[in-house]
């Protein structure tokens, strides 16, 4: 019925993730440093007679192909706001689902950007309003790159892009239902963070990042929800001889370091009970 619009939806890492407290609206206040990765889903949007979404690709498992998909939610919300007509959405998944890498939110943001090509008159304000209504990481993914996100994640400040780093992701074979809200609920039993780590990172803008300078509040409670993760974590650190960290709300783990070292780290991790994915950081669009 019309031209096909295509784009990429990159994964993300939380280089810093502090949880500051519970907000009056039920969300948690966060202060986080986000970094987009080269690992990405392929996204396509095309005018259609009726709404539809299809999901394929090597890591499609766990991604809904119905109205609960964040990309479909985003398209429907934007259509209501601007009077958009039905589209067919196609997702080719390369980002593992429910791992803490932001694939669902990134797909939603990519669809919003592509709908600017399909529906005339869509403004940046329309995109931001819709992204914020869908979730917490979608606003970051509209621009990507390196950024600090505050509030519940919707207040995004672009930061000087990092020089390219290698990243190795370690994808466990298990996850849990309702992972993120359960992780936040577990954190409520502990003292909250101050935001000082994210503030220092944003102020000093380090040129080189390693796992020793990253921080994730969810590591305090990760083994409560993922008791099997401790053995994998320990095994990976023994194999590569360096620290690994939790990605977002998990259960994926990651290593980040100097460009050119990722291939060696990935090779050392071979044989661990997880999928190993080598990727890199990217600059903003």
Cβ contacts of residue 55 below 8 Å, gap of 6+? 63, 64, 65, 69, 91, 93
Q: Buried b vs exposed e over 105-121: b needs ≥16 C-beta within 10 Å? A: bbbbbbbbbbbbebbee
What is the distance of C-alpha 187 from the center of its chain? Answer: 20
- Give yes or no: 12 in active site: yes
- Give yes or no: 137 in active site: yes
From the candidates 12, 73, 93, 179, give the one annotated as an active-site residue: 12
From the candidates 31, 107, 137, 166, give the one annotated as an active-site residue: 137
Structure tokens at 73: 């939610």
Q: How many CB atoms lie within 10 A of CB 32?
A: 28
Q: Tell me the Cα Rg of the chain.
A: 18
Residue numbers annotated as active site: 12, 137
């Amino acid at each position: 019925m019309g031209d096909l619009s295509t784009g990429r939806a990159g994964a993300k890492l939380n280089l810093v993730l502090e949880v500051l407290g519970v907000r009056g609206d039920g969300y948690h206040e966060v202060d986080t440093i986000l970094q987009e990765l080269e690992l990405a889903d392929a996204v396509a949007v095309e005018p259609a007679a009726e709404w539809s979404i299809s999901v394929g690709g090597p890591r499609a498992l766990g991604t809904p192909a119905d109205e609960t998909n964040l990309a479909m939610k985003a398209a429907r919300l934007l259509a209501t706001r601007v009077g958009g007509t039905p589209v067919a959405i196609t997702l080719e998944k390369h980002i593992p689902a429910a791992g803490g890498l932001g694939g669902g939110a990134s797909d939603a943001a990519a669809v919003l950007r592509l709908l600017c090509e399909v529906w005339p008159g869509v403004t940046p304000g329309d995109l931001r309003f819709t992204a914020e209504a869908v979730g917490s990481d979608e606003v970051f993914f509209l621009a990507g790159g390196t950024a600090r996100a505050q509030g519940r994640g919707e207040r995004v400040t672009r930061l000087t892009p990092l020089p390219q780093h290698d990243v190795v992701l370690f994808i466990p074979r298990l996850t849990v239902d309702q992972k993120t809200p359960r992780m936040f609920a577990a954190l409520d039993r502990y003292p909250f963070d101050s935001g000082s780590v994210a503030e220092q990172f944003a102020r000093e803008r380090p040129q080189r990042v390693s796992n020793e300078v990253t921080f994730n509040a969810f590591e305090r409670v990760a083994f409560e929800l993922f008791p099997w993760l401790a053995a994998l974590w320990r095994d990976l650190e023994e194999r590569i001889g360096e620290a690994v960290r939790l990605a977002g709300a998990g259960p994926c783990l990651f290593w980040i370091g100097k460009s050119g070292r990722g291939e060696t780290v990935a090779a050392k991790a071979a044989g661990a009970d997880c999928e190993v994915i080598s990727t890199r950081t990217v600059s903003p669009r």
